[in-house]
Structure 1
Amino acid sequence: MAEAHQAVAFQFTITPEGIDLQLSHQALNQIFLSGVRSWKKRVSRMRNRVIKGVYPASPSSWLFVVIAILATMYMRSDPSMGLIKMIQQHLPLSTQNIQGTQGQTMLSALVFSTLLWLSLILALRFCLKLLLSYHQWMFEQHGRVSNTTKVWVTLLRLLSSRKPLLYSYQTSLPHLPVPPIKDTVSRYLTSARPLLTDPEFERMTKLAGQFEANLGNRLQRYLRLKALWATNYVSDWWEEYIYLRGRGPIMVNSNYYGMDFLYVTPTPVQAARAGNTITALLLYRRKVNREELKPVIAVVIPLCAAQCERMFNTTRTPGVETDVLQHWQDSEFVAVYHRGRFFRLWVYLAGRLLSPRELEHQIQRILDDPSPPQPGEEKLGALTAGERVPWFQMRERHFSSGINKRSLDCIERAAFFVTLDDEEQGMRGEDPAGNLDRYAKSLLHGKCYDRWFDKSFSIVIYKNGKSGLNAEHSWADAPTVAHLWEYTLATDAFQLGYTEDGHCKGDVDRSLPPPQRLAWDIPSEVQAQASSSLVVAQALADDVDCHVFPFRDFGKGRIKKLRVSPDAFIQIGLQLAYFRDRGGFCLTYEASMTRLFREGRTETVRSCSNESSAFVRALETKEVHRKLSDSLSRHQNLYRMAMTGAGIDRHLFCLYVVSKYLGVDSPFLKEVLSEPWRLSTSQTPVQQMELFDLKNHPDFISLGGGFGPVADDGYGVSYIIVGEDMINFHVSSKHSCSETDSHRFGVQISKALQDIMNLLADPKSQTTSKCQQAQPQSKKQL
């Protein structure tokens, strides 16, 4: 809205007497208020830089040091051991005109106090970094904490006693270490053993040995050199080569989705749900900009918050060889899509955020707008769903200037993208299970043209008030988006709320200018390419088989009573389910965060281990309980190693990138990195349970989110552990593969979890039915 008002603030005409200048005082006032908001943000950013720059100390501690030094000098003692006099002798000539020796001594004391204060800050930050580098606590048994860890926790809490800002810990987080190549190769061979026959394993061992003895050490030296100067030796290459250099569609293949509450919809009014959702998202953005969000803490250690920086006002723009992430400092509008039309919705008026009721009013104007789409406008979004190179070519030829560039800039510079969908979704009607599956598919790809897949995230508001989001993957990982979405759902339902008739609370200024239709001049070539991209995207979308189901038999409450990690329990269940479904084992990907380190993203936990496969095969033997315990312990250890920088796959990936830069081939790395992940899994963590009052509002349970299958003949499984008694699963596969079926695999997951729970609850009970269930349905050995 600021741009619109600036455009009409000054009106002038040429008259015989000269220029007749007319001023719109209302518009000028709004420009002034917008400028005030901008300057407040600048001052806030400068203030935050100072506060986090001296953390874990505080700016006011400088005054304490100065007073202490001056008080000591008043007692006729020299705390500087002669340094103050030395500073006084070396003061610039301009300062020596200060009247009296006492004034010069005071100035010298201030300089010394400041230097002492800065030295103390550096010492405190160094100590904090050392403390945050300690990870042994993760490997200690529950209830058996060592004295070293107890002392460590005490010191860490002392240094972190001040309330930190969002980014206060960033410079104190340790850098991700480069593991010894011998350890990585050894761990890889251990992970590959259950997947290979004896001759295959012998061949791979020989390849690994040759790599370690020859090329590996050379590549490792380059990697260590990078780790010396790079903040994180993995993240920049991971972002570029895994995400941005992909030339295929990012829809389904990369983007993922998040869902609304399972049982309830806060309001059936589409415009009202949009108003509250947009408000909650912008309130979260305000917290990010002001750094008022609390850093996410894993037990006692803060996690890296760098991924929050590009959450809003960000888009992925296509290129020939690689895409680029573009981020703008601020945006005062969102882009809205409805029935084939694009709108720009200003969310600020004269520097203030519109109220939820005002946003609802503006959204309702869009819903009531009867104007048809312009030629080529309706399916323009398909360009972001198809191959990247054609989208780049169309962008360069037809969106680099003129009206198309201005409209495209509105979408790409928007805080985020909003789709007002004409469909109804959610667990409803006579087929709730089938509707959940269709709900997931709608969020994952929609109609392939009614989402803007390049945006950092897009919000979807359905006709019946249900909501969800679709997120682009390159800028951040799912836990960062999940944190945003948890806050949005909780703020929408419990803080903003609705009136009895389902509308947003508050008043509305009905003189608000209406949302602006974006204008386009889309030539036939662009329309033809949009149609071609839509064909590619539609084929990809039609092939996705999604199945979402809540597992209600038990949850983490019952699992933890057995002194078992819920995540390890589920992962072993997935191994058992896959064996029953496919008749063998496969390379399994479980995403683990490495945000204990600065700019850390993810590492792979290879969940299919010798111990897990031994348990699955031992279901018919008397040693099954011991093998289950071994497999659970092994998985927990693998997860901890991945979190603490001792993973396998990111190290091997970076070694491979170095080999490509050097122009050398490694048969070992080439084979390792070409292995398909037929079972790709991820847990969506619940990070802000304090926002949800499940005791008084037990129906407000999140469904979590999911993603598309990674391998053509594999499964993608996402799960969220909600409360004490429920686990929600999202399973995806491809219809084109005759050997996979998401619904069948979902049934196997439920059976596997029940069987493992029965086994742990009563280890002496091993019924014949369980043994029969352990027989694979498919005889094909993978």
Structure 2
Amino acid sequence: MSEYLRVLKPIVTTQHYERTKNIVKQFSAHPGPKLHQYLVDKREAEDNWAYNYWLNDMYMDIPLPLPINSNPGMVLPPRKFTTVHDVARFAARIIDGILEHKELLDSGNLPQERAASREKNQPLCMAQYYRLLGSCRRPGIEQDSQFLPDLQNKNETQHIIVCCRNQMYCVVVKADQIGKLSEDEIFSQLLYILSDAPCLPKLPPMVGLLTAEPRRLWAKDHETLLLDAQNCRNIELIEKSLILLCLDELLPPAFNARGFHGASSSAHFTGDRDETNMAHEMIHGGGSECNTANRWFDKTMQIIICNDGTWGLCYEHSTSEGIAVVLLLEQILNKIDEIPSPEENGITPQHLPPPERLEWIIRPELEKRIQQARRDVDKRIEDLDFYVYRYQAYGKNFIKSCKVSPDVYIQLALQLAYYKLYGFLVSTYESASTRRFLLGRVDCIRSASSEALEWAKAMCQGEGANVALESDKEDEENSRKVSFSIYNKEQLRELFRTAATRQTEIMVQNILGNGIDIPLLGLREASREVEGDFHELFTDECYKIANCFLLSTSQVACTTNSFMGYGPVTPRGYGCSYNPHPNEIIFCVSAFYSADITSATRYAKSLQDSLDIMRDLLEN
């Protein structure tokens, strides 16, 4: 409870804080201890007392559509394709790599990972690696659920679903009669799909668009689909497929970055596309006129390969964290790059029957729903303000020379960038892995500390906020009049060190299992289960403010020149993932155009300014 109050202090008003302090005092006397004991008893009875609480709160109970709001998109280094054969060959090699990985999982020989820092060598839970292939999220009227693979049934026929031009095909990749398909055989099946889909006489029903709906709407449409046996079989094939492979068309230049002067986000092009355009392709597909219907957003892994060489994935987040997906795809990519491409002579194996194309039965009411879903998803995509920004003045090499953890440094830069824009800090989420615990996923590193606030204030002395809310304009005018310096460079460095020390403490607390968000969630759910309703602590205004993450962040470290991005988690907020390299940092910044107070490019510019002045403060 004392840590909870410490979290609140920099992000709420004094009046709110004092009121919550009294609620905390009362809760700590009763019923807090009783609820805590309830969780202790639960811990003894279950593998992980928090897992289902966390899963439901983070994913299964959330009614928002998956694209933009939940599913991250990852862009991997673009390829060079000159013919349709190149597309099919690369896709075949990716599938072949996934089948090899599936064999490794089935053998039980997946190497045990161990903690690399902070109580080194502790074993890490590997459960989420086994959920990547063959899993799917299911919509529910009250609550979503998960379809997870049967890890005991290792001899089951294995297949993938391939989406091309909004058509869906089932490709059997392993069966008793045929064994595991070779790379050439997979290539042949994909080549058939790439030539068949464009030649079909009529447009298919855009069933994939329904998976982009708000979850409770999709649950109702899902039930309508299941009224027909053929649709039931299709959905079962999709759910049980190892992955979804989406063979896409390129997005128009309208999705390119709207950058700020001097920004380097467009440095890496494929034809007329920049990296922001590629990220849009992975996150949502570009709308109903582009590739959004060429998806099944409930599917854990949707690998996306575009005919211009852009590729990556969109993944449903509830089964695993980004680390499992990144490691798998980068490992496969490294193997592909080590082997030479074969000479394509036009002769491909023909002994396999062609892949089955899925046919849907669409009742008239569903046709209307698909048209509505089409309009709604296009509107949401139009509202996404997304920007891929490469900061190239320095990277983690310089940060380490300052004797600071790159993650701690970048988190403080994110706080400073926000403060420079708005003149205050907000509730900030950074994911921290809790895999040292069985079924552990993440807890929340709250970077908006009092120490970070004091340092940000000092760094902005005399500036005032660059962009203010209407109610803050008078305060902003007053703050701009203050132009004298209060802190010298040495004092600013000391404030930075204090903020960095505090940020490090919060990070270590979380990864060692001593974060506050999971226990708070447990106490909240225990309050409902034991007392019959939520205690005032969990209906209090401060609790709402603390859990409305206007800045949602995560480090997604990739060994290749890749990056992952996602939308904000609240309408007036920012999403910001980052990938620090030795001499640059890639940021994926998101906001919504409909929120007039946010701007992805403005935040990226503020980040650039913040990182520049931090270098000036700390170098030498």
What is the CA-CA distance between 1:248 and the residue it aligns to? 2.6
Q: Distance in 1 between matches of 2:375 and 2:381?
A: 10
How far residue 673 of structure 1 moved from its aligned partner, in angstroms, is 4.1
1:284–1:487 CA contact under 8 A, matched in 2: no
Q: Deviations over 1:612-644 (max 9, x none)?
A: 111111225121010001111111111000111
2:605 match? 747
Provide Cα deviations, 1:237-260, integer angstroms capped at 9, x if missing partner. Answer: 111232112223122111111111
> Quick check: 1:424–1:463 contact (8 Å CA) kept in 2?
no
Aligned to 1:652: 520
Tell me whether 1:235 sits opposite 2:51 in the alignment: yes
Q: Say yes or no: does 1:435 pair with 2:274.
A: yes
Paired amino acid for 2:608: S
Alignment of 1:295 onto 2:139:
no
Query: Which structure would you say has the larger Rg?
Result: 1
Q: CA deviation at 1:405?
A: 1.6
What amino acid maps onto 2:566 in structure 1?
A: F
The corresponding residue for 2:552 is: 680
Alignment pair present for 1:408 and 2:235: yes
Distance 1:682 1:396, change over 3 A: same
**Cα deviation digits, residues 642-669 of structure 1 (max 9, x gap):** 1111111111111111222232332222
The alpha-carbon deviation at position 207 of structure 1 amounts to: 1.7
Structure 1 stretch 364-373 or stretch 674-683: which is displaced more? 364-373
Distance 2:383 2:420 in 1: 24
Query: Could you tell me which residue of structure 1 aligns to residue 32 of structure 2?
Result: 216
C-alpha spacing 1:365/1:635, structure 2 compared with 1 (3 Å): same
Number of aligned residue pairs: give it: 558
Q: Is the 8 A contact 1:251 1:444 kept in 2?
A: yes
> Could you tell me whether the CA contact under 8 Å between 2:572 and 2:598 is conserved in 1?
yes
Deviation at 1:331, TM superposition (A): 4.7
Residues in 2 aligned to 1:389 and 1:590: alpha-carbon distance in whole angstroms: 28
AA partner of residue 639 (structure 1): M
Cα pair distance change 1:586/1:403, threshold 3 Å: same
Q: Aligned partners of 1:406, 1:431: CA distance in 2, in Å? A: 39
In the alignment, the residues of structure 1 paired with residue 568 and residue 450 of structure 2 have an alpha-carbon distance, to the nearest angstrom, of 25
Q: Greater helix percent: which structure?
A: 1
Indicate if the aligned counterparts of 2:270 and 2:310 stay in contact, CA closer than 8 A: no
Superposed, 1:374-773 pairs within 5 Å as: 377-423=204-250, 435-446=274-285, 447=287, 448-494=292-338, 496-499=339-342, 508-619=348-459, 620=461, 621-622=487-488, 623-661=491-529, 662-671=531-540, 672-675=542-545, 676-686=548-558, 701-722=560-581, 724-762=582-620
CA contact (8 A) 2:418 2:424 kept: yes
- Paired residue secondary structure (1:590): strand
SS of equivalent to 2:539: helix
**Equivalent AA in structure 1 for residue 534 of structure 2:** D
* Length-normalised TM-score, structure 2: 0.85
Q: What is the CA-CA distance between 1:376 and the residue it aligns to?
A: 7.8
Bigger drift between 332-341 and 276-285 goes to 276-285
* TM-aligned CA distance change 1:370 to 1:230, over 3 Å: closer
Distance 1:465 1:747 in 2: 30
- Between the aligned partners of 1:597 and 1:386, the Cα distance in structure 2 is 34
Q: Contact 1:716–1:732 (CA<8 Å) still a contact in 2?
A: yes
Specify whether residues 295 and 187 from structure 1 end up closer, same or farther in structure 2 by C-alpha distance, changes over 3 A only: same
Q: Which stretch of the first structure deviates more once superposed, 348-357 or 242-251?
A: 348-357
Checking the alignment, whether the CA contact within 8 Å between 1:358 and 1:507 is kept in structure 2 is no
Label 1:247 to 1:429 Cα distance change in 2 as closer, same or farther (>3 A). closer
Higher relative contact order (CA 8 A, sep 6+): 2
Which residue of 185, 191, 194 corresponds with 1:367?
Answer: 194
CA contact (8 A) 2:228 2:361 kept: no
TM-score for the superposition, normalised by structure 1: 0.68
Instruction: Give the whole-Å Cα distance in 2 for the aligned partners of 1:256 and 1:617.
Output: 33
Deviation at 1:401, TM superposition (A): 4.2
Q: Residue deviations 1:466-497, cap 9 Å, x none?
A: 21111111111222222222223222323x44
Aligned-partner Cα distance in 1 for 2:347–2:432: 46
Query: Measured at CA, do residues 484 and 603 of structure 1 come closer, stay the same or move farther in structure 2, by a change above 3 Å?
Result: same
Contact 2:71 2:283 in 1 (8 A): yes
Equivalent pair of 1:374/1:520 in contact (CA under 8 Å): no
Contact 1:377 1:522 in 2 (8 A): no
List gaps (5 residues or longer) in structure 2. 151-155, 257-265, 462-486
Matches within 5 A, 1:191-202: 191-202=7-18
Do the aligned residues in 1 keep the contact of 2:167 with 2:197 (CA within 8 Å)? no
Residue aligned with 1:347, SS: strand
What is the distance in 2 between the residues matched to 1:279 and 1:581?
A: 48
Contact 2:167 2:294 (8 Å CA) reproduced: no
- Deviation track 1:354-404 (CA, whole Å, cap 9, x = no partner) reads 232332222111111156669783410111110223322233333244222
Cα gap change, 1:673 to 1:193, in 2 (>3 Å): closer
User: Is the CA contact (8 Å cut-off) linking 2:389 and 2:586 kept in structure 1?
Assistant: yes
CA, structure 1 residues 433+706, in 2 after alignment: closer, same or farther (shift >3 Å)? Answer: farther
Q: Retained in 1: the 8 A contact 2:165–2:197?
A: no
Which position in structure 1 is the counterpart of 2:79?
265
Q: How many Å separate the matches in 1 of 2:330 and 2:295?
A: 21
Paired letter, 1:407: N
What residue in structure 1 maps to residue 164 of structure 2? Answer: 338
- Which of 128, 131, 136 matches 1:315? 136
Measure, in 1, the Cα distance between the counterparts of 2:494 and 2:167.
61
**Structure 1 residues 196 and 395: alpha-carbon distance in aligned structure 2, compared to 1, 3 A threshold:** closer
Deviations 1:264-301 (A, max 9, x none): 52545222221111122222222222233222222122
> In structure 1, what is the Cα distance between the partners aligned to 2:605 and 2:198?
47
Does the aligned pair in 2 maintain the 1:568–1:635 contact within 8 Å? yes
Secondary structure of 1:757's partner? helix
Change (3 A) 1:416 1:403: same
**Structure 1 residues 140-198: Cα deviation after superposition (integer angstroms, max 9, x where no partner):** xxxxxxxxxxxxxxxxxxxxxxxxxxxxxxxxxxxxxxxxxxxxx11111121112333
For the structure 1 residues 749 and 331, does the alpha-carbon distance in structure 2 shift closer, same or farther, using more than 3 Å as the test?
Answer: farther
Partners of 2:106 and 2:340 lie apart in 1 by: 24
Amino acid at match of 1:203: R
Q: Secondary structure at the match of 2:204?
A: coil
SS state of the match for residue 227, structure 1?
A: helix
Alpha-carbon distance in 1 for matches of 2:423, 2:272: 27
Distance in 2 separating the partners of 1:431 and 1:273 = 17
User: Does the Cα contact within 8 Å between 1:257 and 1:707 map onto a contact in 2?
Assistant: yes
Supply the AA of the counterpart residue of 1:627.
L
* Structure 1 unpaired stretches of 5+: 1-184, 690-700, 763-782
Matched, 1:279 2:96: yes
The CA deviation at 1:535 is 2.5
Deviation of the 1:583 alpha carbon: 2.2
Residue 428 (structure 1) shift: 8.0
Supply the distance in 1 between the matched residues of 2:563 and 2:35 (Cα, whole angstroms). Answer: 40
Aligned: 1:306 with 2:99: no
SS in 2 for 1:312: coil
Shift of the 754–497 alpha-carbon distance from structure 1 to 2, 3 Å rule, reads: farther
Indicate the RMSD between aligned Cα atoms, in angstroms: 2.4
Moved more, 514-523 or 420-429: 420-429
